[in-house]
């Protein structure tokens, strides 16, 4: 087992594991966001629970951070190594003849997701940390004490058109990333068998529907405010 990250297949395997983790997290994030469309109260309750539960805050959240950082750092490491494996590029290369655009541009879709994530952190995570741990307000209540603040804050964030547009573009890139990534991750861990065909369809559905769902939620809050 020693030094598995020093081998090409080991790195690939680790990349896939971090990706699986992110894809599961994405589902959970989507489920909670969906609540905000149907019930402000339910969204508030769950947000407060997620934001104050010690297991989630101090165990799950650090694991998630590690997962994200590991995934994109490893993504860059692999990209650099792979570029080094060819010193002179072809004068004419017909990549479209044998592979999808998504598969050849994972680093660019990933890079855009990273930019989106940075903005997403500045938008939601930093204010949260500031309120809870710097100002010490763990109540989760609005300034006037009239009910929870989470839903209000969410709607407020999706007022500016630029932010909604940016979120939409970010999720389009996530969809492109997952259109290749979902099934690629299974291949990386060695799962290529009689289920692969069916899984391809499922992967496509996941890659399109989940990001689309996030977009719809952002638009709903933009137009319903």
Partner 1 sequence: MNLTLKIWRQKNANDKGGLVDYKVTDVSPDMSFLEMLDVLNEDLINKNEEPVAFDHDCREGICGMCSLYINGEAHGPDRGITTCQLHMRMFKDGDTIYIEPFRAAAFPVIKDLVVDRSAFDRIQHAGGFISVNTSGNTIDANAIPVNKHDADKAFDAATCIGCGACVASCKNSSAMLFVSAKVSQFALLPQGKIEATDRVLNMVKQMDEEGFGNCTNTGACEVECPKGISLENIARMNREYLKASLKG
Placement of tokens 């994405």 in the chain = 26
Q: State in Å, rounded, how far the first CA of the chain is from the last one.
A: 54
**What does the per-residue mask of binding to partner 1 show for 165-204, with x meaning CB under 8 A?**
---------------x--xx--xxxxxxx-----------
The answer to whether 14 contacts ligand HEM (rule: CB under 6 A) is no
- Which of 85, 134, 143, 161 binds partner 1 (CB under 8 A)? It is 85
C-beta of 148 vs 186, nearer to ligand HEM: 186
Please state, in angstroms and rounded to a whole number, the distance separating the CA atoms of residues 124 and 131. Answer: 11
- Smallest distance, ligand HEM to C-beta of residue 168, A: 16
The answer to whether 73 contacts partner 1 (rule: CB under 8 A) is no
Distance of CA 150 to the CA centre of its chain: 20
- Which of 38, 55, 89, 135 binds partner 1 (CB under 8 A)? It is 89
Rg (alpha carbons) of the chain, rounded to whole number? 20
- Smallest distance, ligand HEM to C-beta of residue 147, A: 32
For residues 22 and 67, the answer to whether their CB atoms sit within 8 Å is yes
The answer to whether 113 contacts ligand HEM (rule: CB under 6 A) is yes
- Smallest distance, partner 1 to C-beta of residue 115, A: 21
Please state, in angstroms and rounded to a whole number, the distance separating the CA atoms of residues 26 and 125. Answer: 16
For residues 64 and 25, the answer to whether their CB atoms sit within 8 Å is yes
The answer to whether 154 contacts ligand HEM (rule: CB under 6 A) is no
According to DSSP, residue 57 is labeled I
* Residues of this chain, 170-199, that bind ligand HEM according to CB under 6 A: 177, 181-182, 184-185, 188
The count of residues interacting with ligand HEM (CB under 6 A) is 26
Please state, in angstroms and rounded to a whole number, the distance separating the CA atoms of residues 46 and 78. Answer: 38
The answer to whether 114 contacts ligand HEM (rule: CB under 6 A) is yes
| Strand residues in 39-181 grouped as ranges (E) | none
- Which of 50, 117, 119, 219 binds ligand HEM (CB under 6 A)? It is 117
């Amino acid at each position: 087992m020693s030094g598995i990250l020093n081998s090409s297949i080991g790195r690939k395997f680790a990349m896939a594991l971090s990706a699986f983790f992110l894809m599961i997290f994405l589902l959970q994030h989507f489920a909670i966001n969906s609540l905000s469309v149907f019930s402000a109260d339910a969204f508030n309750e769950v947000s407060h629970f997620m934001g104050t539960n010690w297991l989630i805050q101090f165990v799950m959240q650090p694991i998630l951070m590690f997962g994200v950082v590991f995934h994109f750092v490893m993504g860059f490491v692999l990209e650099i190594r792979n570029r080094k494996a060819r010193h002179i590029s072809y004068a004419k290369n017909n990549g479209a003849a044998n592979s999808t655009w998504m598969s050849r541009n994972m680093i660019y879709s990933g890079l855009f997701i990273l930019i989106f994530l940075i903005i997403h952190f500045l938008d939601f995570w930093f204010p949260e940390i500031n309120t809870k741990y710097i100002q010490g307000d763990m109540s989760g209540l609005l300034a006037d004490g009239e009910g929870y603040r989470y839903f209000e804050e969410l709607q407020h964030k999706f007022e500016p058109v630029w932010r909604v547009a940016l979120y939409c573009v970010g999720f389009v890139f996530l969809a492109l990333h997952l259109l290749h990534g979902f099934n690629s991750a299974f291949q990386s861990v060695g799962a290529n068998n009689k289920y692969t065909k069916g899984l391809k369809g499922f992967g496509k559905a996941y890659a399109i529907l989940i990001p689309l769902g996030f977009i719809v939620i952002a638009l709903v809050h933009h137009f319903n405010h």
